[in-house]
Amino acid sequence: MNAKYLMTPLALALLATNAQADDAAAGEGFVEGSHLTIQTRNYYFNRDRRDPQVQNSQEWGQGFIGLFSSGYTPGMIGVGVDAYGMLGLKLDGGGGTGGSSILPVTAPDKEGLKFGEAPDSFSSGGAALKLRGFDSELKLGDQFISNPVIAGGATRMLPQTFRGVSLVNQSVQDLRLEGGQVSFNKPYNQSGHRRIDTSYGVFPDGRRSHHISWLGGTWTGIEGLSSSLYAAELQDVWKQYYANLDYSWQLNELVSLNPGINYYRTQDAGDALLGDIENNTWSAHFAVGIGHHTVTAAYQKVNGNTPFDYINQGDSIYLDNSQQYSDFNGPNEKSWKLQYAYDFAGLGIPGLSAQVAYSRGELDLTKVDPNSPGYGYWFSADGKDAKHWERDLDIRYVVQQGPAKDLALRARWANHRGGDGYSAVDNDIDELRLIVDYPIEVF
């Protein structure tokens, strides 16, 4: 999805906390430049699959994310440390209603718990060594990463993290370059780390990619214009390339225009664990803002007999029609979306905003190779004209002042329906998410 729609309040808070801490620490000492914040998130998730043969998911939890960022030691190369600690508490869920990925999934032999019943709590922690010098920052260890080819998921109670090395350079004005390699990730509903897999691919038993590597950058040298180029390789799975252009044009005080396009190319690589992949996927949007109203139209096309795929639980899908439930990224899928957003500051209620959207997709699933090891399950003999649609409603309020300043309340509702051979994933679901975010700055 387009980056400006992709970032959740939690993701924005995580990135802002790290960026602000690093900027503030650049000219300060290791201790003097240190910062500690605690992000609290209360999350209720209810997914009604509207099928008596399939279990529904209903979970409720409270999450705490402690983020520590030190300053840098003096000298040509400054040394610092970033660390995090996470705690998730079960308020309700499991025992027949789990599986929303808010809480951990319990194995059937877990002593003292029923199959599918989540533990009362789960936690994790990690740290990264960081080095700063020559307009660059190198991090080694556990970290939050967000770019179009590898972005940690932040759409559940706790965020996803990665373990590896990353490098960011900003020697050239308005140009941000980055690269890195990670071998493990901590899923957002688990305590431990695991090898990286993908959202839609089915890996052969016992086999996984060992790492993902990436290189890319973003240029913002022209006012209102942003452009990016990235390349990534998920070892023995795919090579993936991304490009985008996004332009915001303020015609006058009342009217603004925002056209943009995103493009991904994915090809199988190495041992091709998920099979043959030859996929070109793009989306384009055009938004018109008039006062506090914004109307957006988007079109998206998948060219290939496999779905557009990305890192499991990640947010590295910068495509316009990636919605709350469906990504509209199936094999040979074409989709469109209409979206309306309103900022209630226009009615004297700053901090309150709402957004509604309708998306519709059509696919030809008869072209999918049923023998594909990774994506054969998408094949449908009745799916030549498969169709599905989704309605979304998103309402959010952020307290603007007072003791509860920055407290964010959010309600998200989605309806999804599929038919005409659309059977690779859940056809009919109703989904409700209620989220409360509150950041606490300790120092």
Tens digit of each residue's pLDDT (9 = 90 or more) over 374-399: 999 999 999 999 999 999 999 999 99
pLDDT score, position 12: 56
Query: What residues have CB less than 8 Å from 77, skipping those under 6 apart?
Result: 131, 132, 133
Determine, yes or no, domain membership for 94: no
Determine, yes or no, domain membership for 69: no
pLDDT score, position 340: 98
Has this prediction a pTM greater than 0.75?
A: yes
Determine, yes or no, domain membership for 90: no
pLDDT score, position 26: 53
The predicted model gives 429-442 an average pLDDT of: 96
Query: What residues have CB less than 8 Å from 171, skipping those under 6 apart?
Result: 134, 135, 136
Determine, yes or no, domain membership for 323: yes
> What residues make up the domain containing 392?
121-441
Q: Which one, of 26, 38, 6, lies nearest residue 440 by Cα?
A: 38
pLDDT score, position 377: 93
Amino acid at 42: N
C-alpha separations of 73 from 117, 189, 441 in Å: 46, 35, 23
Q: Which CATH number do you get for residue 216? A: 2.40.160.10
Tell me the C-alpha distance between 166 and 33, whole Å: 21
> pLDDT, tens digit, for every residue of 159-190?
999 999 999 999 999 999 999 999 999 999 99
Angle CA 63–66–69, to nearest 5: 155
Amino acid at 291: G
What residues form DSSP beta bridges with 230? Answer: 216, 242
pLDDT score, position 16: 55
Tell me the C-alpha distance between 266 and 240, whole Å: 4
Q: CB of 328 within 8 A of CB of 296?
A: no
Q: Which one, of 166, 270, 162, 279, lies nearest residue 215 by Cα?
A: 166
Determine, yes or no, domain membership for 405: yes
Tell me the C-alpha distance between 373 and 201, whole Å: 8
Q: Which of 23-27, 53-57, 105-109, 315-319 has the highest mean pLDDT?
A: 315-319
Say yes or no to pLDDT of 117 above 70: yes
Determine, yes or no, domain membership for 434: yes
Determine, yes or no, domain membership for 86: no
User: Token pair for residue 46?
Assistant: 């209810």
Q: CB of 332 within 8 A of CB of 363?
A: yes
pLDDT score, position 3: 40
The predicted model gives 400-426 an average pLDDT of: 90
Burial 246-260 (b: 16+ CB within 10 A, else e): bebeeeeeeebebeb
Element containing residue 24 per DSSP (H, E): helix 9-25
Average pLDDT of the chain, as a whole number: 90
Determine, yes or no, domain membership for 72: no
3-state SS track over 205-261: CCCCCCCEEEEEEEECCCCCEEEEEEEEEECCCEEEEEEEEEECEECCCCEEEEEEE
Say yes or no to pLDDT of 347 above 50: yes
Q: CB of 154 within 8 A of CB of 172?
A: no
Q: What share of the chain is helix, strand, coil (3-state, %, to 5)?
A: 5, 50, 45
Number of domains in the chain: 1
Element containing residue 142 per DSSP (H, E): strand 136-143
Instruction: Give the least confident one: 43-57, 267-281, 294-308, 315-329.
Output: 43-57
